[in-house]
Amino acid sequence: MTVINPEFRLAASTHTGTVALKVADLSKQIVFYQDVIGLHLLKREEKVASLGINKTPLLILREIDNPLPLTRKTGLFHVAFRMPTRKDLGNALIHYLQTKAPIIGASDHGYSEAIYLTDPEGNGIEVYRDKPMTDWDIREDGEIVGIIIEMDAQGVVDAANGNWQGFPNQSDVGHVHLKVANLQITEKFYTEVLGLSLKNNFGQHAKFFATGKYHHHIGSNVWNGRNLPAMAENDLGLDYYTFFVTSSNELERIEQHLVEQKTIFEKETVGTIWLSDPNGIKIKFQTVKD
């Protein structure tokens, strides 16, 4: 691939928006993400449901026929829902403990505090809050170094006010973490084609990318193995994920860059662009109001 403009970068306001999953049991997944995780049901149809906050969908669930179980393929490692404050994360943690939610871990990453769970069909979930940027380990070259240590669960609980009503209005999809086939090819695509910046090489097995000065909007890893095959249409798990673009001018700039890169993409409707990454993962750019 010939790189026409290696300095192209997405606007800092462009960020991860919605994650869509293919599921086997729509009703069961709706109950889980609403009653256990804390999303609000926005719309329900026969085979599709959207959940989120206010009128913003953060998760779309689509029931598929003849589903294949989750296997060692590329796709979703976890979807990360971001809470606005430590108080909100504390309220969530207390709720998860009271409801015996399937918590699989909790970590302090230096720039964030995170709770990890898994849904009934095996999809990974992170619920987290960012620490103040003054606490982040930001190097002179822009690298933002993360760590993995035990989260101060008692401190998070102590910050709660006990007023759990599901996700607060300022919640969003802070990042999406992917299982990929090849880290080097993935880095080339996300930096040179999509225009994110590499924020951190996490050992030899993970890379993190973001727009602007964020620690990461996209995580990628080969922890489940290298050269994983791409998902089939009837595989359970990730259907696609979305970047929210806050102006039509920015979407036009992205489109022009993709043309220059000779990257295959589709325009389904006005304000949207669809393409796939080298791992067979579908990506949607969607214009939204900031």
Measured distance CA(210)–CA(204) in Å, rounded:
19
Q: Which amino acid is at 220?
A: S
Residue 4 has pLDDT above 60, yes or no: no
Any idea which residue has 């989120």 for tokens?
A: 52
Mean pLDDT of the chain: 95
- Identify the pLDDT of residue 2: 35
Any idea which residue has 């101060």 for tokens?
A: 152
Q: Residue 195 — left, alpha, or beta (φ > 0 → left; ψ -120 to 50 → alpha)?
A: left
Measured distance CA(256)–CA(215) in Å, rounded:
27
- Identify the pLDDT of residue 127: 98
Tens digit of each residue's pLDDT (9 = 90 or more) over 220-278? 999 988 889 999 999 999 999 999 999 999 999 999 999 999 999 999 888 999 999 99
Closest CA to 91 of 27, 24, 152, 167: 167
According to DSSP, residue 170 is labeled T
Closest CA to 211 of 144, 265, 117: 144
Measured distance CA(45)–CA(26) in Å, rounded:
10
Residue 287 has pLDDT above 80, yes or no: yes
CA angle 285, 228, 218 (to 5 degrees): 35
Supply 162's token pair: 């006990």
**Chain centre distance of CA 96:** 20
Residue 268: CB atoms within 10 A of its CB come to 10
Closest CA to 285 of 10, 13, 274, 57: 274
Tens digit of each residue's pLDDT (9 = 90 or more) over 67-117? 987 788 999 999 999 999 999 999 999 999 999 999 999 999 999 999 999
Residue 134 has pLDDT above 90, yes or no: yes
Any idea which residue has 């729509």 for tokens?
A: 26
Q: Is 15-287 in CATH node 3.10.180.10?
A: yes
Show me where the domains of the chain are located. 15-287
According to DSSP, residue 228 is labeled P
